[in-house]
């Protein structure tokens, strides 16, 4: 009866959304007033994140029966939202809400929908793992239409959407789905990991891909720090997020977080709090000079603040992991070319053969074109050697593959030295008998 009454109240009081470009000098202000309900903060933040908006500031209040939040947002170029159609679309989305994600269902999951089949993977990370997965999918005549791959703390997780390469439709045959699961499990088992992958078939469902990856990695306990030799970069403790917690009497636990700012940071944190059963009653978010500061007043859904050191430690570790998972580690490479069957398998094989390790990847197909982003390091987690990049560009094509991240992700001294050598080679080819000797000194870039 209480649930039906709550639904009636929500129908009688639909969300009120105000989008204002005059309230702030450097951001569009979005105010959302609504009847409070479980998960509403995540719904709102997910809508803003799906629109690729960056949340510069936020003020959250949902204590009692009403939800009142204010968000200062900018677009990907750092500007206010000016497009009237986009503003109307955001308003409609916020007024209708977003869908919820199902709970964790296993470490290898195959889920058919009308358009594609969703494959979920998790296991121990290693160099070349994505290449092996893509090779198996290509051999099974599966075409990857979009995917997202994360690695964190020696663990890897992926959500991959595939179609049959001949029909272009979802794969529904139970025997074929079973074969896909079995062969992908074999790839993951090659690590001899104690966390053996499970194989389950899931019912159809709709979920935000980023939230699903958080759920997968949370269930896989990637937040537990482990010492791994031979994989991953050396950890810089100064660059790690700072998370602290304190209880205010018996009412709330106050969480304070400080980290490097990046897109989708608030979404990642709220996802983790929601999936762990915590409710945000009040909060403040601000960012500036590449740093983000967040403060939340929370309680567990059972109505209590944090009640033990073990609970505090686990929540701290999980929030640190949520902040770190999507952080861009390594050199950012963007591939833009005509899509074809087996393309991702070929690209990841080239990376593997040239000693590149994929730390994170976003795969998409738009209008027949593959638009993929890869974050790569060498197999030891160090910056990429420019010589390896040259070989990769030669095999893939310089017009198809572009470097889009800052130069700091490459060994800068080696890059300059490599460029100078190329200049000398071109000079010698053009002038076979130079009249003078060229001497160049390469200075180290600080």
For residue 442, name the pLDDT band (cuts at 50, 70, 90). very low
User: Is the pLDDT confidence value at 371 over 90?
Assistant: yes
Alpha-carbon span 173 to 348, nearest angstrom = 28
**Cβ atoms 35, 66 nearer than 8 A:** yes
Query: What order of strands is seen across the sheet that includes strand 369-378?
Result: 199-201, 108-112, 117-124, 155-164, 142-152, 356-366, 369-378, 331-338, 401-403
Residues 6+ apart with CB under 8 A from 282: 60, 61, 62, 63, 252, 296, 297
Specify the pLDDT at position 95: 86
Specify the pLDDT at position 248: 87
Specify the pLDDT at position 329: 81
**Cβ atoms 63, 282 nearer than 8 A:** yes
User: Is the pLDDT confidence value at 437 over 50?
Assistant: no
**Cβ atoms 118, 181 nearer than 8 A:** no
User: Is the pLDDT confidence value at 156 over 80?
Assistant: yes
Q: How far is CA 419 from CA 229, 396, 446, in A?
A: 33, 20, 17
Of 126, 182, 141, 184, the residue nearest 159 (C-alpha): 184
Alpha-carbon span 399 to 132, nearest angstrom = 26
Alpha-carbon span 137 to 154, nearest angstrom = 23
**Cβ atoms 294, 284 nearer than 8 A:** yes
**pTM, to two decimals:** 0.83
Helix 84-96, helix 40-50: angle, nearest 10: 160
State pLDDT tens for residues 72-129.
Answer: 999 989 999 999 999 999 999 998 864 433 334 445 656 555 688 889 999 999 999 9
**Cβ atoms 338, 371 nearer than 8 A:** no
Q: Which two tokens stand for residue 417?
A: 């030295």
Q: How far is CA 166 from CA 139, 140, 176, in A?
A: 13, 11, 14
State pLDDT tens for residues 176-215.
Answer: 999 999 999 888 886 556 565 543 334 334 678 899 999 9
State pLDDT tens for residues 305-361.
Answer: 999 999 999 999 999 999 999 987 889 999 999 999 999 999 999 999 999 999 999
Of 129, 142, 270, 146, the residue nearest 190 (C-alpha): 129
Q: Which DSSP string do the residues of 306-324 spell out, in sequence order?
A: --SHHHHHHHHHHHHHHHH
* DSSP conformation class of 221: T
Specify the pLDDT at position 427: 47
Of 48, 5, 6, the residue nearest 29 (C-alpha): 48
């Amino acid at each position: 009866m209480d649930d039906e009454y709550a639904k009636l109240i929500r129908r009688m009081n639909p969300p009120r959304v105000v989008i204002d470009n005059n309230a702030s000098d450097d951001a569009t202000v979005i105010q959302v007033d609504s009847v409070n309900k479980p998960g509403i903060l995540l719904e709102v933040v997910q809508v803003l994140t799906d629109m690729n908006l960056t949340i510069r500031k936020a003020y959250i209040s949902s204590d009692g029966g009403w939800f009142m939040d204010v968000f200062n947002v900018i677009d990907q170029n750092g500007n206010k939202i000016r497009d009237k159609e986009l503003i109307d679309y955001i308003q409609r989305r916020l007024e209708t809400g977003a869908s919820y994600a199902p709970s964790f269902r296993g470490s290898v999951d195959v889920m058919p929908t009308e358009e594609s089949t969703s494959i979920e993977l998790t296991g121990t990370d290693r160099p070349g793992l994505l290449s092996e997965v893509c090779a198996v999918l290509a051999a099974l005549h599966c075409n990857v239409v979009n995917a997202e791959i994360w690695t964190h703390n020696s663990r890897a997780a992926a959500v991959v959407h595939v179609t049959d390469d001949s029909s272009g439709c979802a794969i529904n045959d139970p025997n074929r789905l079973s074969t896909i699961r079995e062969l992908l499990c074999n790839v993951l088992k090659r690590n001899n990991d104690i966390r053996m992958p499970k194989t389950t078939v899931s019912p159809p469902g709709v979920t935000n891909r980023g939230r699903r990856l958080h759920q997968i990695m949370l269930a896989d306990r990637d937040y537990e720090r482990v010492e791994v030799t031979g994989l991953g970069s050396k950890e810089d403790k100064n660059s790690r997020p700072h998370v602290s917690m304190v209880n205010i009497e018996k009412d709330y636990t106050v969480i304070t977080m400080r980290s490097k700012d990046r897109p989708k940071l608030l979404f990642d944190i709220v996802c983790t709090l929601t999936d762990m059963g915590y409710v945000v009653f009040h909060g403040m978010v601000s960012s500036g000079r590449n740093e983000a500061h967040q403060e939340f007043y929370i309680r567990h859904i059972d109505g209590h603040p944090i009640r033990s050191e073990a609970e505090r430690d686990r929540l701290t570790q999980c929030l640190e992991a949520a902040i770190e998972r999507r952080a861009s580690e390594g050199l950012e490479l963007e591939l833009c070319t005509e899509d074809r069957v087996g393309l991702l398998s070929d690209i990841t094989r080239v990376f593997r053969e040239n000693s590149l390790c994929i730390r994170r990847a976003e795969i998409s197909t738009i209008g027949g074109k593959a638009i993929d982003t890869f974050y790569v390091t060498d197999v030891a987690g160090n910056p990429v050697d420019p010589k390896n990049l040259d070989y990769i560009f030669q095999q893939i094509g310089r017009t198809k593959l572009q470097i889009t991240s800052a130069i700091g992700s490459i060994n800068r001294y080696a890059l300059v030295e490599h460029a100078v050598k190329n200049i000398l080679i071109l000079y010698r080819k053009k002038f076979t008998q130079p009249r003078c000797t060229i001497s160049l000194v390469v200075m180290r870039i600080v």
